[in-house]
Amino acid sequence: MKILPQEFYLSNPSQVAVALLGKKLVRKIGNYTISGIIVETEAYYGKSDPASRARKGGKLSKIMLGPPGRTLIYMVHGNWLLNIVTCPKGVAGAVLIRAIEPLSGLSLMMRNRGINDVKKLTNGPGRLTKALNITNKLNNLPVFDKKSEITIYEGRKISSKEIAKSFRIGVSKDLDTPLRFYIKGNPFVSRP
């Protein structure tokens, strides 16, 4: 299976968010591998976006302004959230991975989460980072590099008919445009 090149992440956040649906997220831990299909994403912009962390400045906005195709990880309400940086260097943008459909490494995920219910394993941004054991140590890693602990590969082709969109979830101030995208009818999305 082919790894996605860095150019894949050059375009604007909402385009990349749609394109990431159906792709395969791979997490390597030592000799073990956990993988899943991305089924739900959200797009975030720069300072024009009231919900974006780039607005506050600091270390995170530096990563967001950096080159695309890198991980951006940070904590909210005691949960780590996984994002991928988009847009060329100098432009702020990111895509939040909200949910995946587990493919392999199920038993390891269950151990990390402490539950046995597969449907609740990765159907939320904080849940999936716990299942994949993602922390801020993995910040700023290139996901287009085979050697990284987090990588994204070509997955299943998704037709535009299968894609649904809505407003973002949990944000205090949203924009006028729907920026959340998910695969219609998939049981692993956080909210139908």
Partner DNA sequence: AGGAAGATCTACT
Partner DNA sequence: GTAGATCTTCCTA
Alpha-carbon distance of 169 to 129, in angstroms, equals 17
Tell me which DSSP letter residue 167 carries: P
Q: At 72, which helix (H) or strand (E)? A: strand 71-76
- Binding status of residue 124 toward DNA by CB under 7 A: yes
Of residues 74, 118, 141, 162, which one binds DNA by CB under 7 A?
74
Of residues 59, 146, 156, 184, which one binds DNA by CB under 7 A?
59
Residue 162 phi, psi dihedral angles, 5° rounding = -85, -10
Residue with Cβ nearer DNA (58 or 187): 58
CB under 7 A: which stretch of 23-31, 56-64, 103-111, 175-183 binds DNA?
Answer: 56-64
How far, CA to CA in Å, does 46 sit from each of 55, 85, 96, 179, 187?
A: 7, 11, 14, 14, 31
CB under 7 A: which stretch of 22-30, 142-150, 170-178, 179-187 binds DNA?
Answer: 170-178
User: Which among 22, 19, 38, 30 is positioned nearest to 82, based on CA atoms?
Assistant: 38
Of residues 6, 11, 15, 79, which one binds DNA by CB under 7 A?
79
Of residues 66, 67, 126, 178, which one binds DNA by CB under 7 A?
126
- Binding status of residue 11 toward DNA by CB under 7 A: no
How far, CA to CA in Å, does 49 sit from each of 27, 89, 173, 177?
A: 30, 18, 9, 11
The footprint of DNA (CB under 7 A) covers 42, 44, 51-53, 56-60, 74-79, 81, 83, 94, 96, 113, 120, 124-127, 130, 136, 168-172, 190
